[in-house]
Structure 1
Amino acid sequence: MEALQNQIKQLIIDALNLEDITVDDIETDAPLFGEGLGLDSIDALELGLAIKKTFNIVIDADDTNTREHFASVANLANYISSQTSH
């Protein structure tokens, strides 16, 4: 799971052009939005597209669980893992 989490962290950095941030700077359990990494809704869209392209998983923006999936790297890793293990 740690490898997937690091892959997601790198995906966040690449997708959002976060040049001053490294994988080590992103805490696995820290919030991605607001207080944590400080991402916004535009970042969420970009990240959703990157996840779709990388993992072939479509994240439904209208799904009530989507906010929870995007809450942290740990949540995203769990969600992606659950979607790809079918």
Structure 2
Amino acid sequence: MNDLELELKQMVIDVLDLEDMTPEDIDSSEPLFVEGLGLDSIDALELGLALQKQYGIKLDSDSEETRKHFASIQALARLVASHQAA
């Protein structure tokens, strides 16, 4: 697990108050929504705000592209890494 994925996992836990979870409990490749972690649209909004605040990333909540970025921790890590490289 790389540092960025670990950081994102901790952000998910903190932002969504997942008290009984640790970063090690989250599989980087598992889906974040529906199956996998089972997050919902409210969780997506909260995560989107956290990404904007922490990394300066603005996402269009209705776009298919945004849905792809929120597919997994790995996808979010790619998004953040590409944003930091730009």
TM tier, shorter chain?
over 0.9
Identity score, percent: 52
* Corresponding position of 2:16: 16
Unaligned runs of 5+ in 1: none
- Match in the other structure for 1:81: 81
Q: Which runs of 4+ in 1 moved over 6 A?
A: none
Q: Say whether residues 1:27 and 2:27 are aligned partners.
A: yes
Q: Counterpart of 2:12 in structure 1: which amino acid?
A: I
Partner of 2:70: 70
How far apart in 1 are the matches of 2:49 and 2:81? Answer: 17
CA RMSD of aligned residues (A): 1.1
Residues of 2 paired with 1:35 and 1:57: CA distance?
25
Once the 2 structures are TM-superposed, how far is the Cα of residue 60 of structure 1 from its aligned partner? 1.4
State the one-letter code of the partner of 1:71. A
How many residues align? The count is: 86
Superposed CA offset, 1:11-38 (max 9, x none): 0000000000100000000000111000
| Gap runs ≥5 in structure 2 | none
| Partner AA of 1:18 in structure 2 | L
Task: Give the drift of 1:64.
Answer: 1.7
Q: Distance in 2 between matches of 1:40 and 1:62?
A: 14
